Amino acid sequence: MTPREPQSPPPPALAASAFPGMTTGRWGLASLAVVLAAVLPLVVSSQYVLGVMITTLILLVLNISWNFVLGVAGVWNFGQLAIYALGGYGAGIIMLHSPVSPWLALLAGGLVAAVAAVLLSFPTLRLYGIYTSLLTFAFAEVIQYVILNDGSGLTGGSFGLPIVRGLYSSLGLNASARAYFWTALAVAVIATVLLAAVGHARLGIALRAIRDAPAYAAARGVSPLRYRIIAFAISGFLAGIAGGLYVSYDQSISPSVMGLTPMSVYVTMLVIGGLGTSTGPIIGTILVQIVATALVTHPGAEFTILGLFLLVVVVFVPDGLAGLVGRHWRRISAWAAEDEDDELAEGSPDPHVA
Amino acid sequence: MITDLVGIAVTTIILGSIYGLVAIGMTLIYGTLRILDMSQGSMVMVGSFIGWGILVVAGWNPVLAILAAFAATFLLGALTQLVSVQPLMKRRNAIDFEMVTFITTFAVAMVLTNVALEVFGPFQRNVTPVIGGGITVYHGVDLPYQSLAMALVSVAMMAGLGIFLARTRWGMAIRAVAQDLDAARLMGVPVGKLYPLTMGLASALAGVAGVFLGGLYFAYPGAGDLPLLEALIVVIFGGLGSLPGTVYAAYAIGLIQAVAEVTVGTTWSLPILYGVILLVLIVRPYGLLGKPSEARL
């Protein structure tokens, strides 16, 4: 999935830029994409399509947070949906029962999720690979069961929370949908930039080292404990924010957001896009969501096609679509660079284009 | 009190045997190929549909149903290996091999489940018990012949697998590959044929379990989900790749579940199981008999 050849940039490049590989042109392209996305709700008139886009953005935030632990840190964490749900429930319950601003509730949900994620990170330190996946999945199942069988009325059991007054409940239907879209887009952009920056900085390099050569990393003084806790905290906080956005937009949350079925879709998104890359979750989430929406009238076919798609991508494109695009992009830019290497000589912005 | 104890003992033996049958296939595959086969649950589902087709639709002999399920899931398992694992074998030593194959076999499970959903619909279908009737073991504790047959067939198949691995040429080849792939290759073990054979065999065990489980529960597209989760718990609890560990763990898990069902009811038995597995993994990170980063059959 993720390319395992040494890919961390040489130290000078690291010092020069927090985002190696990002040329001015690419920053421009990325900004253009964000601006185009931000204009979408003004162009799209269908409430249904807008709703699908908002859900996609919320899922994108979740997938970005998950990718950081699963792809960059390489910890088989299959409990991320429970952390996401805990953030959602935390935010939702505060929104329901407390007069504080829903924005504070959103933050509180993120903190609840971060605490849960840090607690989950401790047992995973002793485990490896598949054992981690079962432990984290068991954690998620226990959380789901506890919520499902909750008789106290706090979570509403299998029915979920009653109608929650979210971030924009004072606005009209159209205005609130647009507001949610822009909020979710802003969070997704911030999450992408933040995790890309962190992923190329000391933390990300340490996490990759622990992932690829645990003994060597520990011998060089990279503390798995410290870096994994930080990674889980950041990832958990973002997942919790995604959960808070979900409960606010959907006005409810129920235990059905967890479980094997939604998880298989999100894993498909991450793997198809490219685990451990910054653009992978974006490509995967949007692509799979488009396929799923197109097949919404054939629920069985959706999963069959996603499953076949997943199989083909893993077998033939091990580093996901982001890796595929990246390789071709590099070839094209290398080819372009041959023609204009005189112009590039003074800046030499990207040491990787070779 | 005594009724409870007898009930717990009977349930333990039945549950343990059926968990053992599904889980031992996963252990066999993990020991030989170093992959966790997520398609084993679907094999249970396919087995229960074959049981339904032969017992209910065609009305034929139960023995035929078991044989047909064995043959069909053997072929399906071998095919799964060729499609989802064989193309990846050249990346066997890559650090993410386990995760990649986990995902590809999971993709196969997704496809199989949803093809079943398209073909048969989401309905739960009753499967005639392989054998009807039952005996009363103690006051209030009934033992249906179906469960008894299931336990006996499971134990017989586990024993048969043990003999196969210990005595036959192919069985020894499987163990040789599990112990040292390169040495086995140098001794002329045809690894290319062995891998599909191993996965076919493991899938066939799950398929036979499916015929019986279909009689206990139902045949429906999701019929494999719970057995898969339970088998996962068993193999991890026992330590990946350890066949004796898997058998002990199957009965231990059966016992935990039986006690939970008798004392607090069926709803809480699965969460209690997960709670136990959480504790076990925190205390013993490699399961009961597992060895860190290596596995021996």
Residue B291 pLDDT: 59
> Kind of pairing, strands B141-144 and B134-138?
antiparallel
Residue A155 pLDDT: 78
Q: Residue B134: phi, psi to the nearest 5?
A: 180, 175
Q: Residue B197: phi, psi to the nearest 5?
A: -60, -45
Instruction: Tell me, yes or no, if A134 comes closer than 8 A to chain B by beta carbon.
Output: yes
Chain A CB contacts of B108 below 8 Å:
307, 311
Residues sharing a CB contact under 8 Å with residue A124, sequence separation 6 or more, in sequence order: A75, A77, A132, A135, A136, A228
Instruction: Tell me, yes or no, if B102 comes closer than 8 A to chain A by beta carbon.
Output: yes
**Rounded to a whole number, what is the distance in Å from the CA of B62 to chain A's nearest CA?**
31
Query: Can you read off the two tokens belonging to residue A51?
Result: 């709703």
Reported as a pLDDT band with limits 50, 70 and 90, residue B95 is low
Find, in chain B, the residue whose alpha carbon is nearest to that of A127. B285
Lowest model confidence (mean pLDDT) among A111-115, A154-158, B243-247, B286-290: B286-290
Please indicate whether, in this complex, the C-beta atoms of A134 and B281 are within 8 angstroms of each other.
yes
Residue B190 in this model has a pLDDT that exceeds 70: yes
| Location of structure tokens 């979920």 | A160
Instruction: Tell me, yes or no, if A28 comes closer than 8 A to chain B by beta carbon.
Output: no
Lowest model confidence (mean pLDDT) among A294-308, A324-338, B156-170, B226-240: A324-338
Residue A235 pLDDT: 94
DSSP per residue, B173-188: HHHHHHH-HHHHHHTT
How many Å apart are CA A81 and CA A83, to the nearest integer?
5
Measured between alpha carbons, how far apart are the two ends of chain B, in Å? Answer: 40
Identity of the amino acid at B216: L
Residue B171 in this model has a pLDDT that exceeds 60: yes
Residue B130 pLDDT: 67
- pLDDT per position as a tens digit, B55-79: 777 778 878 888 888 899 999 999 9
Helix (H, G, I), strand (E, B) or coil at B241: coil
Residue A21 pLDDT: 66
Residue A340 pLDDT: 58
DSSP per residue, B50-64: HHHIIIIIS---HHH
- pLDDT per position as a tens digit, B17-54: 888 888 888 888 887 887 888 888 889 999 888 888 88
Query: Can you read off the two tokens belonging to residue B208?
Result: 């036979």
Q: Is residue B180 exposed (0-12), middle (13-18) or buried (19+ Cβ within 10 Å)?
A: exposed
Query: Can you read off the two tokens belonging to residue B155?
Result: 């134990």
DSSP conformation class of B90? G
Cα–Cα distances (Å) from A217 to A131, A208, A222, A225, B227, in that order, read 21, 9, 5, 12, 39
- pLDDT per position as a tens digit, A226-275: 888 999 999 999 999 999 999 988 888 888 888 777 888 898 888 888 88
Residue A117 pLDDT: 93
- pLDDT per position as a tens digit, B260-273: 877 777 777 777 88
Closest CB to B274 among A141, A301, A306 = A141
Please indicate whether, in this complex, the C-beta atoms of A308 and B277 are within 8 angstroms of each other.
no
Helix (H, G, I), strand (E, B) or coil at B141: strand
Residue A20 pLDDT: 67
Residues sharing a CB contact under 8 Å with residue A54, sequence separation 6 or more, in sequence order: A177, A180, A181, A184, A249
Q: Is residue A213 exposed (0-12), middle (13-18) or buried (19+ Cβ within 10 Å)?
A: middle
Residue A300 pLDDT: 67
- Angle (CA) A226 A230 A234, round 5°: 175
Find, in chain A, the residue whose alpha carbon is nearest to that of B102. A130
Q: Report percent pLDDT > 70 for chain B.
A: 92
Closest CB to B275 among A130, A142, A311 = A142
How many Å apart are CA B50 and CA B22, to the nearest integer?
17
Contact at 8 Å (CB) between B85 and B35? yes
Please indicate whether, in this complex, the C-beta atoms of B91 and A212 are within 8 angstroms of each other.
no
Contact at 8 Å (CB) between A127 and A101? no
Residues sharing a CB contact under 8 Å with residue B92, sequence separation 6 or more, in sequence order: B34
The enclosing H or E element of B134 equals strand B134-138
Weakly modelled stretches of chain A, pLDDT under 50: 1-3, 8-16, 343-354
How many Å apart are CA B199 and CA B81, to the nearest integer?
6
What b-and-e string marks burial along A80-93, b requiring 16 or more CB atoms within 10 Å of the CB?
bbbbbbbbbbbbbb
Best A75, A134, A260 member to test B by mutation, with max B CBs in 10 Å, is A134
DSSP per residue, A140-204: HHHHHHHHHT--SSSS-GGG-------TTTTS-HHHHHHHHHHHHHHHHHHHHHHHHHHHHSHHH
Task: Indicate left, alpha or beta for B242 from its phi (over 0: left) and psi (-120 to 50: alpha).
Answer: beta
Contact at 8 Å (CB) between B236 and B24? no
Report chain A's C-alpha Rg in angstroms: 21
Contact at 8 Å (CB) between B287 and B237? yes
Instruction: Tell me, yes or no, if A138 comes closer than 8 A to chain B by beta carbon.
Output: yes
Neighbours of B138 (CB within 10 A): 14
Closest CB to A130 among B83, B98, B274 = B98
Instruction: Tell me, yes or no, if B188 comes closer than 8 A to chain A by beta carbon.
Output: no
Q: Report percent pLDDT > 90 for chain B.
A: 3
Which of A95, A108, A85, A99 has its CA nearest to residue A164?
A95
Helix (H, G, I), strand (E, B) or coil at B219: strand
